[in-house]
Amino acid sequence: MIDAVGAGLSVPTKPGGYTLRFLTCSEIMFGIVDRYILLEVLKVFTGILGTFLLVVLSMLFLRTLEEINVGAIGSDMVIRFVGLQIARDISSLMPPAFFISVLVALGRMSRDSELIALNACGLGNGRIYRSLFYLALPIALLTAWFSFTLRPLVVSEIQKILHQRKDQAHQVSGIKQGRFYQHEQGLVTIYVEKIEDKKRLRNVFIHDRRQDRIRLVISETGVRRVDGASGDQFVTLLNGHCYEGVPGQPDYSISTFERYSLRVESTGLKHFQNRKRASFHVKALLGSEDLQDQAELQYRIGGPLAIFTLTLLTIPLTVKSPRQRTGGRIFLALLTYFSFFNMQRLAEIWFETGVTPSWLGSLWYQALILLLVLAILLPEGYWWKRLMRRLPRAAI
């Protein structure tokens, strides 16, 4: 092996003999260009994806704080609940983050005349596309894993938490003073004016409509406890009054008591049935004739596919020369971005409701946006201009 500053290579010609062959400039530059473009896009992609995650994290955190404020979720579940929602949404953040990162990276290279230099070295659009797809492929595979594997598991966990939030046992454990809480499908209403030491209750009101006779229980003091074995909650009122029936009716009664306990049974996950399609395993969606199941499957496919579709749009939307006007391309890029992801939701709704035929699916919007953008940019293309210059000559 002969090393002439990385440009020499000894190649065997026959047994026992070697000849020296120098690598061409293009052979050396291909690897360098690939690494350069990949690093430029990857750096921008990391920053944009991190920004997206911070924005989504702040929104989810504020929404979760509102849930804690009304007592719908315990404060000990904040980090887990927010983390699950971030994991659920990350598959939908990857395509727009990658699209914007490629546009920003190529825009910077165009501003510094690097794209012109690459073209002068014989590295055209096809060569740049190859470098971009080197990065688009692993990102698309990662997006597919998020969409097909991680997202169903995360959505299932979120649904379990939401189911538990509806359980009165969780409502009582997170009860706040000065608020009304209901369970048994609204048949029992509990109100606590004040809570002391997290267990002692002051001025408790219970309205029970589970039986034929309405029962109203009032007490100035009470306590609550949790059965460690069953997980059930017990609200016990002390030295209060109980009113049963309808005032004015013969069966109306008023009584006093020393202890009155209300058991709030913890349903837990015994009757939990996850019916959200986003949590279905891909095997349950494959072969299903239900339009909503098919729409969910195509939504999961649309994320990884959008990585490649948007990658095809990046180079046409990039101005190669700093002397060219950039306003039109920037406006078209923004229009493409918003149209692409708005059409995604619209196509899914049309497919689920039967507006579009089932054979068309819900992924047609990607081909439509791709064709529309290319058609708009076609008059500025090299081959179109060359064809237009030849047309008058052919007519003559």
**Per-residue pLDDT tens for 123-135?**
778 888 888 999 9
The pLDDT of residue 302 is above 80? yes
Residues 203 and 157 in one domain: no
Please say whether the dihedral angle defined by the alpha carbons of residues 280, 285, 290 and 296, taken in this order, is positive or negative.
positive
Domain final residue, candidates 264, 291, 325:
264
For residues 101 and 161, the answer to whether their CB atoms sit within 8 Å is no
pLDDT of residue 395: 47
Tally of domains in the chain = 2
Question: Do residues 30 and 149 both lie within one domain?
Answer: yes
Please compute the mean of the pLDDT values over residues 204-222 and round it to a whole number: 85
Band (pLDDT 50/70/90 cuts) for residue 301 is very high
Token readout for 232 is: 């059930």
The answer as to whether 74 is a domain residue is yes
CA dihedral 179, 171, 263, 163 (to 10 degrees): 140
Closest CA to 278 of 143, 146, 141, 153: 153
- Is residue 7 in a domain? no
Is residue 217 located within the same domain as residue 356?
no
Please, how many CA atoms are within 13 Å of residue 358, restricted to the half-sphere of its CB? 7
Whether residue 366 is found in the same domain as residue 218: no
Specify the pLDDT at position 281.
82
- 187, 62: one domain: no
State whether 55 and 140 are in the same domain.
yes
The answer to whether residue 308 sits within a structural domain is: yes
> Residue 187's domain spans which residues?
175-264
Same domain, 315 and 252: no
Domain identity same for 118 and 203: no
Query: What pLDDT is attached to residue 93?
Result: 92
Longest dimension (CA), the chain: 118
| Domain final residue pick, 224, 243, 264 | 264
- Do 218 and 241 touch, CB atoms closer than 8 A? yes
Let me know the angle formed at the C-alpha of 150 by 149 and 153, rounded to the nearest 5 degrees. Answer: 95
- 146 or 175: whose pLDDT is higher? 146
Do residues 158 and 31 share a domain? Answer: yes
Residues 310 and 388 in one domain: yes
Residue with token string 């990662």: 142
Predicted local distance difference test score (pLDDT) of residue 323: 62
Confidence tier at 74 by pLDDT (50, 70, 90): low
| Higher pLDDT among residues 270 and 154, named by residue | 154
The C-alpha atoms of residue 295 and residue 356 are separated, in whole angstroms, by 12
Question: Same domain, yes or no, for 153 and 105?
Answer: yes
What pLDDT, in 10s, does the model give residues 317-360? Answer: 886 655 656 656 778 888 888 889 889 889 988 988 888 888 88
**319 and 371 share one domain:** yes
Q: Which alpha helices (H) appear in the chain, and where do they start and end?
A: 25-69, 78-111, 114-120, 125-145, 151-166, 168-173, 282-285, 291-314, 327-353, 364-377, 382-395
Q: How many CB atoms lie within 10 A of CB 359?
A: 5
82 has a pLDDT exceeding 70: yes
